[in-house]
Amino acid sequence: MSKLPDFTSVRELRYGLDPYLDAWLLHFMTENNIEPTVNPAENAQQEQLRFMVDVDDDQVFVPCSDEMFENLLHTRLSPALRQEYREKWRLLVHLARINIKDRYTRRKIFALSRHKVRQVLHAPFLIPSRFLKQLMTIFMAMSGVHDPQRTEKRQANKRALDFMNGPDMSRSLYACPDSNLGCSSIMHLRWELELLEMARLCRLSLRPQIWENPASVRDDASFFEEVCAPWPEFKETMTRIMGPDSEQKKLKILYLPGSSGGIIFDLRLIRVLVRLGHKVILALKEGYCLDSPVIWDVEHDGALQDALGEALFVENSRMSKNELLRAQRESPLLVISDGTRERLNLWRTSVTFARSWKEADLIIAKDFPHHRRLIKNSHLFTRDILCLYRDRDGLDQIRFKEKSLRVTKITESQIVAQADSIIAQMRSARGMARQVMFYSAIIGSIPGQTKVALGVVNTFVSHLRSRHANLLIINPAEHFVEGMDGDDLMYMWERVQRSGFIDVWRFQTVSDIETSFELMGEVVPAEWHGKDSTFSTGCTKEMHIALDMQDKHPEMQIIGPEPKRFFRRMEYGVGKYFDARIPDKGRAL
């Protein structure tokens, strides 16, 4: 390609406009191993990515800042990029010299890594964090050391906890402000005090000297002055997001911490948020990632264990919506893994992390790397993002990025309200001596056929209503909500189905589908040949529920295919309406 197109942001780059650009982008994605069509086992599919990023099918998303991507796009080794690569190399050398005593193994690691370094310096193509992961994978595979900074992280957390339990914490956190707080009401005065505590905890979490050189803090009066100084940007932003006059007073928050040491203060801040009525999910790393806290650190880190208290740990990396909401009802603080051992890379995060993001109202991200990937990336995200970090001049910064206007969050309360309105109809029908039938059918189980499926179901239900008197038929197609994925729909329908008001549960048959197409005056398309409700992942889940409800209400009738024919289906593909094993028509190489 002679010339790359001019662009001002990554959001402008799209597939399908220039074959040479397409090839370059796919080369970039595959070299960085973040292309889902090439490595679907490790990378999220587009539907899962859309839980977090407002991205179209033909758009490009890369886990780095726009500035970094522009350098990589033009394979331009800028001074900043050269410095990034060199820092990664120096880190590897430092870790190898400290942790590997065998000289032969150390030389072998250095020799192999030098080949990698020369490659990226000759053709700067790898995102620095992906390059670092390559180096760390080489180091861990050859050395057998899976967390070379475990002792350092444990010491950082202990020093941070010692500070928190000592007199310096009281001096930082509980010192009265210089000016009197305005008091228009007790509620607003209480909020002003909460703000002071949160702002000071944030500032403490952004000061690594507390756990790197604690002696330097004790006699430094300027340190305490900085921590206790007014932070008007913090006050304005937090008041707008969760203050007493804000629209959303009880938020679900996904919290992305920065470093070990800082996480001790993050957890104290999280306790304040929980005290204010918010629910928090704390996302730690799955494996070693420099000084970032790892979900397994708690097993050998007493300070972190004390700070986490009664938090509920979630080990399931593929939680469903139902499971996640149930866990949040059990505990206001959940601890999950993001599924990675690198800086935030949304292509590589776990299903549980992606769903936690989708269910959240606000993402709080700490430290400068998150600022670069979330704020300095021009893509818009599906949830509001609040980023707290210290800039290169040592100044505390708070940045708020509003979610995409194209995204509408379907909340748990909205889903429950819709389910309860259907249940009310069923209860009313029972009160008028009418029977209730639930019709389970294919809606989104055939990729690309959702619109046709809605027509098929609506036609057949109308046919049933014309032939049956004194019968209320619940037709899922009449309550289909755009924007819900399969898990959202199942969450709503399970509430309806377990209400105990269903007299007849009918599952769609091949004959039902053929009758529908005949009533519509159409032939049965090839995609629908031989299909019935046993082809549907949702209907399979509903058959399990139907059999369970029949045990509790033996008079309930189940009509349709034999139950044993259903149990070949798996789970929904994340963000899809169909079985995870059914291939989607994606972008191919």
Say if strands 396-401 and 435-440 run parallel, antiparallel, or are unpaired.
unpaired
At residue 102 the predicted structure's pLDDT band, cuts being 50, 70 and 90, is very high
Does 584 have pLDDT greater than 90? no
Tokens of 469: 């008197």
| Element spanning 235, H or E | helix 232-242
In this prediction, residue 335 carries a pLDDT of: 98
Residue 589: pLDDT band by 50, 70, 90 thresholds?
A: very low
Q: What is the pLDDT of residue 7?
A: 75
From residue 387, give the alpha-carbon distance in Å to each of 376, 492, 496. 11, 33, 39
pLDDT digits (tens, 9 = 90+) for 221-231: 899 999 999 99
Quick one: which of 423, 527, 446, 545 has its CA closest to 490?
545
Inform me whether the pLDDT recorded for 8 exceeds 80: no
Picking from 356, 352, 346, the residue whose alpha carbon sits closest to that of residue 377 is 346
pLDDT, mean over the chain: 90
Q: Is the pLDDT of residue 571 over 70?
A: no
Report pTM: 0.87
Secondary structure (3-state) at 294:
strand
Per-residue pLDDT at 272 exceeds 90:
yes
Q: What is the predicted pLDDT for the residue at 179? A: 63
Q: Which residue has the higher pLDDT, 568 or 27?
A: 27
**Percent of the chain residues past pLDDT 70, beyond the cut:** 94
Q: For 8-17, 101-110, 148-157, 549-558, which range has the lowest pLDDT when averaged over its residues?
A: 8-17
Above 60 in pLDDT, residue 2? no
Residue 585 pLDDT > 60, yes or no? no
pLDDT at 573: 55
The pLDDT of residue 317 is above 60: yes
Question: Other C-beta atoms within 10 Å of 421: how many?
Answer: 11
Cα separation, 267 vs 304, in Å, equals: 9
Asked if residue 237 lies in contact with residue 400, where contact means CB atoms within 8 angstroms, the answer is yes
Which of residues 80 and 497 earns the better pLDDT score? 497
What confidence category does residue 254 fall into, taking pLDDT thresholds of 50, 70 and 90?
very high
pLDDT at 57: 85
Assign 1 a pLDDT band (cuts: 50, 70, 90): very low
Q: Is the pLDDT of residue 464 over 90?
A: yes
